[in-house]
Amino acid sequence: MLDRLNLEFQDVPPRDWRLLISVLVMANLVTLTSCGWIVLNRVSIPHGVRGRVMAQPLATRTPWPTFTPTIPVTPSPTYTRIPTWTPFHTVTPTPSVTPTPTETPQPPTPERIVMDAPRPPTPTFTPTPAHDFIASVRQLSPCENEGKHHIFIHVRDKEGQGIPGVRVHITWPGGETYATTGRKLEVHPGFVDFAMFKGSYTLQLADLDSEIVGPLTPDIPRSEMCDKTGNPVANSMYHYSYEVVFQQVR
């Protein structure tokens, strides 16, 4: 019978057990309270009544069956085998090639250039003229000449002004002459001209220190035409002219 009760008790859910226990606790509290009330009021009960009450047999309390809870058997936990850890293949990265650092060229240290103090320019040596008047000669072009055969003479001072009254000594093989400046003022005071006729001529200032010019000759066997006038013999045999300048330099 106990086994049957045990089986029935196993089927009681926990919630009903809690309710049953609460009822039992309440019943015990009521019983205890009643006993206390009887004890406290025993003194006031009349003796005859008390004897009658006490002569009554006490009710026998039927004890509740003792509940022996069945401890449920907790199954032993099944251990799950932990798989053996297999290490992954570690990929070793290829080491990167560290480039060789390029040496940064250092800028060259600027050189300090020390400039020498400028030297005074070397004075240009000007040779002392050998004569007071130096001479220059130029042959006239065909259009300037136009068939003439003359020597055009200019005598100038340091300022370039013509000097009148200067005698020019002109010589040629077998002869000589003097020409004086200032007779053709329409040109300028230091001008004089002289006509040549074959041969060679040399000239210099007669009364002043000057260079000697020559020989000058019109005997040039070549004809040159002037393009402006169309003259085919503007320069030709025995028809060449020269310009001579005597320039005072000291």
Q: Is 64 inside any structural domain?
A: no
Residue 12 per-residue DSSP state:
S
Q: How confident is the model at residue 21 (pLDDT cuts 50, 70, 90)?
A: confident
Q: Is 238 inside any structural domain?
A: yes
**Which pLDDT score, from 0 to 100, does residue 53 have?**
46
Could you give the C-alpha distances from 147 to 13, 46, 142, in angstroms and in order? 164, 203, 8
The reply to whether 140 and 244 lie within a common domain is yes
Q: Is 70 inside any structural domain?
A: no
Its domain, for residue 48, covers 2-55
The reply to whether 139 and 240 lie within a common domain is yes
Separation between Cα atoms, residue 155 and residue 189, nearest integer Å: 9
The reply to whether 142 and 49 lie within a common domain is no
What percentage of the chain reaches a pLDDT higher than 90? 48
Cβ neighbours of residue 218 closer than 8 Å, sequence gap 6 or more:
149, 196, 197, 198, 237, 238, 239, 240, 241
The reply to whether 46 and 142 lie within a common domain is no
**Which pLDDT score, from 0 to 100, does residue 46 have?**
55
Q: Which range has the worst mean pLDDT, 1-15, 23-37, 120-134, 182-196?
A: 1-15
Whose CA is closest to 180, among 194, 201, 161, 159?
A: 194
- Pairing between strand 242-248 and 150-156? parallel
pLDDT in tens, 211-223: 999 999 999 999 9
**Which pLDDT score, from 0 to 100, does residue 81 have?**
65
Q: Which range has the worst mean pLDDT, 110-114, 120-124, 156-160, 165-169?
A: 110-114
Q: Is 126 inside any structural domain?
A: no
Q: How confident is the model at residue 61 (pLDDT cuts 50, 70, 90)?
A: low
Q: Is 44 inside any structural domain?
A: yes
Tally of structural domains, the chain: 2
Q: Is 101 inside any structural domain?
A: no
Buried b (16+ CB within 10 A) or exposed e, 29-57: eeeeeeeeeeeeeeeeeeeeeeeeeeeee
Mean pLDDT of the chain: 82
Classify the C-alpha dihedral 121-127-132-133 as positive or negative: negative
Q: Is 76 inside any structural domain?
A: no
Q: Is 25 inside any structural domain?
A: yes
**Which pLDDT score, from 0 to 100, does residue 165 have?**
97
Domain boundary among 55, 71, 96: 55
Q: Residue 75 has which token pair?
A: 């199954």
Q: How confident is the model at residue 124 (pLDDT cuts 50, 70, 90)?
A: confident
The reply to whether 138 and 244 lie within a common domain is yes
Phi, psi (deg, nearest 5) at residue 225: -95, 145
**Which pLDDT score, from 0 to 100, does residue 75 have?**
61
> Average pLDDT of 9-17?
74
The reply to whether 35 and 139 lie within a common domain is no
> Average pLDDT of 21-36?
85
The reply to whether 47 and 141 lie within a common domain is no
Cβ atoms of 196 and 171 within 8 Å: the answer is no
CATH number for 203: 2.60.40.10
pLDDT in tens, 84-122: 666 555 556 666 767 777 777 777 777 777 666 777 787
